[in-house]
Structures are given as C-alpha cells and as structure tokens.
Amino acid sequence: LAGTALVAGGAAFGAQPKPWEITLQEAATPVMESIISFHNLLLVIITLITLFVLA
C-alpha cells in the first residue's frame, strides 16, 4: 500500500505549473484549448505593443 502511494504520488505533481512559466497547463477540454489560444494571441499582441511603445 505504501509503495502504491509513493508511485501514484509522483503523477499528482506531473501537470503542476513551474516557477517563471508563462504558458498554461495542457488543456483537458475544448474550452480550455480556446482559452490557451486566446492567451497566446494576447501574449503576441502585448509584446508588439510593448516593442512599439519602447521603440
């Protein structure tokens, strides 16, 4: 029983975010896929605006 808990415990942390990570976790639903796509688009737009303002 303890061995099963040790083996299964590692899988629980498999999809956790990492420090300084700017991406989202993998999508489990189509709605989350749309949110990730929108997030990636906004990241590009914000980067372009920042470069335009600083240039």
d(CA 47, CA 36): 17
The answer to whether residue 12 sits within a structural domain is no
Q: What is the pLDDT of residue 21?
A: 76
Average pLDDT of every residue of the chain: 81
Full residue range of the structural domain in which residue 42 is found: 29-54
The DSSP annotation for 5-48 comes to: HHHHHHHHTTT---TT--SPPPPSSHHHHHHHHHHHHHHHHHHH
Number of domains in the chain: 1
Model-level pTM? 0.59
What parts of the chain have a pLDDT lower than 50?
A: none
The answer to whether residue 34 sits within a structural domain is yes
Q: What is the pLDDT of residue 13?
A: 53
The answer to whether residue 38 sits within a structural domain is yes
